[in-house]
A and B are shown apart, each in its own frame.
Chain A
Amino acid sequence: MTPVTAVSPIKPWRPTRRDYIVQCGILVGSFLASYLVIENTGFAGRLPLVIFFGIFAITSLAILSGMKRGKEAAKDAVMAGAAYTGIFALLLPVASILWTVTSRGTAAIYSGFFTTDMSQDPFSSTLDVGGIKHALIGTIWLIVIALIISVPLGILTALYLTEIKGPGSALIRFLVQAMSGIPSIVAGLFIYSALISGTGRGFSGFMGALALSILMIPTVARTAEEVLKLVPPDLREAGLALGATQWKTVALVVIPAAKSGLVTAVILGVARIAGETAPLLFTTGGADDTNLNPFDGNMGSIPFYIWKALIDGSPEAASRAWAGIFILMLAVLALFALARFLSRAKIVK
């Protein structure tokens, strides 16, 4: 028997340190070169700098791989560079928005910001009075009620289209697609003219949630349909072959298999409505005081708060608007994180 020598695991497919140094060198070099171009030619500003940097970096990386491994490798490097450029072009505005909102959104936040509303103070008053309590409560109500209405309806619609495939599926699919193109203000006007105007009923949070549901249902339904279509038909057959009814198969096999995708559908639905302002104007009426009852009386919401602060015009009101945007962003992020956490909690028993 040959003695077994200790072998430590390595990853030979990883780039070596030398590769990293060369690549960093190229990136730094490209940056310097584009900086020089900006300084010495008519181009000026940040955008040309970024564009030149991209061009220089991609070309030199392509030339490098081309010299090392030939023409196909050069094409490969160009495509990889294009993909990196794409993700950069995507992340840049996102990062910029996050940064702007965070840096400007904190000025108006003080110890009483979450415990007071705007019923006593105008939006132009100093930043140590008033708060967002009424709007936060309103938005939570709106999202919760819209979720309660839209998630079951949207997912049931998707199940009808993918599992039952019943009569009218094509027409329903078409209508859902058409519905997802409805401008949000139309959804608000629809609820207003159908359920509020001339009926004796007043504005309320519930009416706002109905208008938001019109926007949310098609998003949830379409995404959920796409996700359910990805569940392999084998699994459905396996469930049915075990003597399950179709409903049991859907509930215990299909939906769990599509769970994380369905959570995504719900998240996209919430993202669709969380910032909507226009449909709320005709349905919740907007409010500056706290209203805990979503079924009676005008109700505030964060988008309405932002909108009202923006049209006020004073610098204090502008700070309040930024704070509202900041809180809305945090609330939506928290909701997404919660949804992801809940959908992942399985399996690790």
Chain B
Amino acid sequence: MSNTEKEDGSMNSTATPATGTRTTSLGNVATASAAARARSEQPVGSGLEARNVHAWFGKYHAISDMSLDFPTGTVTALIGPSGCGKSTFLRTLNRMHEFIPGAAMAGEVLLHGKDIYAPGTDVTKIRLKIGMVFQKPNPFPSMTIGENVLAGIKLAQLKVTNKNDLMEECLERAGLWNEVKDRLNQPGGSLSGGQQQRLCIARSLAVRPEVLLMDEPCSALDPGSTLKIEETISELAKTMTIIIVTHNMQQAARVSDYTAFLLSDGGPGQIVEFAPTREIFTRPKDKRTENYVTGRFG
């Protein structure tokens, strides 16, 4: 569209083409800063990797040159003030950004080393592998609780042998089974907000994604539900890659292995600092990060 020039420009600035010829151990990947790694031509990780991602809304440049690595089995928290582009970045990672009229992007998002924006990619398969939980609980109103959990199976036309087992497993993992096992036939909207959010998590799990993007999943929840979802996240992280946007510093500290601090000073949002979570919270390298995590920000 109107951003083709920009796109070309940033393609050129990408350090290396995504050839899958380089190898490394997961351990290496997990300890290095992703941004630094991308620049130093380190090999492709087995998880999800964003390289020099930009995003626009029409003419408005919302995020600029974001490079992050999300190795399999880790939880990464994205923190930063409101409007700095956390949701926008998250939505470029499973190609939800493109639904906004006038949206454009540049850069690469690699899943197992393959660019999800490459021509000929089956975008529905991408979204199947990279699931998303939204800030506002959005169960399907025309479906029952049970149907909501299995909605993805129907929507993506997947085959499962035992639907009831899958339903129970997903609700169990989302920490909701005990509360709803006797009312699976009631409409999804009959649950409380926190229960609805866990229902949405269960719904995302049913299609067995490899990566789960969560945009402030607990912002409308009570401490009890929040705790349950955090436990769920820790449990899920054993087998999946999780990227969570949160405004809650304690939450980021509790659930995540890595934390990225995003900031927009007037211009487009950028990554200020990316490091293991403990470092971000105990000895941040950037003054702005320190101000933000200690609550002394603007």
Interface positions of A (Cβ within 8 A of B):
165, 232, 234-235, 237-245, 248-249, 252-253, 256-257, 259, 346-347, 349
Contacts and interface: CB of A to CB of B under 8 A. Distances in A.
Contacts of A248: 154-157
Tell me if A's interface is mostly helix, strand, loop or mixed: helix
Contacts of A256: 140, 142-143
B136 A349 contact: no
Contact of A253 (B125, B140, B207): B140
Contact of B94 (A241, A244, A257, A347): A241
Given A237-B99, A240-B99, A252 B155 contact: yes
B138 A242 contact: no
A239 B155 CA distance: 7
A242 B187 contact: no
A108 B212 CA distance: 70
A242 B151 contact: yes
B209 to A, nearest CB: 9
B54 interface: no
A348 to B, nearest CB: 9
A346 to B, nearest CB: 7
A127 B185 CA distance: 55
Contact of A244 (B101, B124, B136, B144): B124
Nearest to A236: B99
Given A241-B127, A256-B143, 11 more contacts: A234-B136, A237-B96, A237-B99, A241-B132, A242-B131, A242-B204, A242-B207, A248-B157, A257-B140, A347-B187, A349-B144
5 contacts: A234-B136, A239-B140, A241-B131, A248-B157, A347-B144
B94 A242 contact: no
B141 interface: yes
B128 A243 contact: yes
Given A234-B136, A234-B138, A347-B187, A244 B155 contact: yes
B96 A241 contact: yes
Interface of B: 94, 96, 99, 101, 124-129, 131-132, 134, 136, 138, 140-144, 151-152, 154-157, 185, 187, 200, 203-204, 207
B141 to A, nearest CB: 5
Nearest to A234: B138
Contacts of B101: 165
B207 A238 contact: no
Max chain B Cβ within 10 angstroms of own Cβ: one of A237, A242, A349? A242
Nearest to B136: A234
A345 to B, nearest CB: 13
Contact of B140 (A165, A238, A245, A259): A238
